[in-house]
Amino acid sequence: MQNDISKLQDQVQQISLSQKVIEAKMNGMEANMNGVQVNMDVMEAKMDGMDAKMNGLDAKMEELKINLNKLLQEMVTNGERVVKETHDENKRNVNNDFIKSNVGLKTHHVPKINMRKFDGKDPVKWILQMEQFLDLHNVKNTQKVHIATLYLEPNQFVWYLWL
């Protein structure tokens, strides 16, 4: 029986040691859980701060949209005014030139001229031929450039537009 008691005491001692080990592990896990909770609280506080910043950014974006729309409205309004004024002035100049160049003429049409289009090659020869044709058909000086541009190839016409 002594032997049985001794075995039981050994078992109780082992169980007691196991309990202490388990308690130590549980305390360590509890400490880890507390650390995780602290980290989560910190993360939550940071998320709240980020939400506040995002709300601030949203407000700034809305303000920026409003200011951009105002700026675009001003630019469009000014741009339309400039284009309209330029167009009207150009139209007046062209109309005055056309009227002045055709005073005394019975017809207001541009004479049909059989002339090659200017392709960028031999410009001196082309200019001389164009002047001869325009003079032959009694085209007024104010119309010569306008008519000559009709005889430009597309690439040369683009070049002319940029002058």
40-89 pLDDT tens trace: 999 999 998 898 888 888 888 888 888 887 777 776 665 554 444 444 45
Looking at the structure, do residues 72 and 135 belong to the same domain, yes or no?
no
Query: Cα separation of 80 and 39, whole Å?
Result: 60
The pLDDT-based confidence of 146 (bands split at 50, 70, 90) is: confident
Looking at the structure, do residues 114 and 97 belong to the same domain, yes or no?
no
Domain end marker among 55, 80, 101: 101
Query: Cα separation of 70 and 82, whole Å?
Result: 18
Model pLDDT, residue 76: 65
Looking at the structure, do residues 83 and 132 belong to the same domain, yes or no?
no
The pLDDT-based confidence of 4 (bands split at 50, 70, 90) is: confident
Looking at the structure, do residues 29 and 16 belong to the same domain, yes or no?
yes
Looking at the structure, do residues 57 and 132 belong to the same domain, yes or no?
no
Looking at the structure, do residues 31 and 80 belong to the same domain, yes or no?
yes
Model pLDDT, residue 43: 92
Query: Do residues 78 and 92 touch, judged by C-beta distance below 8 A?
Result: no
Model pLDDT, residue 26: 92
Looking at the structure, do residues 111 and 73 belong to the same domain, yes or no?
no
Query: Do residues 152 and 115 touch, judged by C-beta distance below 8 A?
Result: no
Looking at the structure, do residues 14 and 92 belong to the same domain, yes or no?
yes
> pLDDT (tens digit, 9 = 90+) per residue, 76-125?
665 554 444 444 454 445 555 555 555 544 454 656 667 778 888 888 99
Looking at the structure, do residues 24 and 62 belong to the same domain, yes or no?
yes
Looking at the structure, do residues 81 and 7 belong to the same domain, yes or no?
yes
93-97, 134-138, 153-157: least confidently modelled range: 93-97
Model pLDDT, residue 83: 44
- Output 126-131 pairs: Cβ under 8 A, ≥24 positions apart: none
Model pLDDT, residue 123: 87
The count of structural domains within the chain is: 2
Domain end marker among 72, 101, 130: 101
Domain limits at 62?
1-101
Model pLDDT, residue 87: 47
Beta-carbon-side half-sphere exposure of residue 90 (alpha carbons within 13 Å): 6
Looking at the structure, do residues 23 and 79 belong to the same domain, yes or no?
yes
List residues bridging with 152 in a β-sheet: 118
Looking at the structure, do residues 127 and 62 belong to the same domain, yes or no?
no
Model pLDDT, residue 99: 53
Is 103 strand, coil or helix? coil
Domain end marker among 52, 70, 101: 101
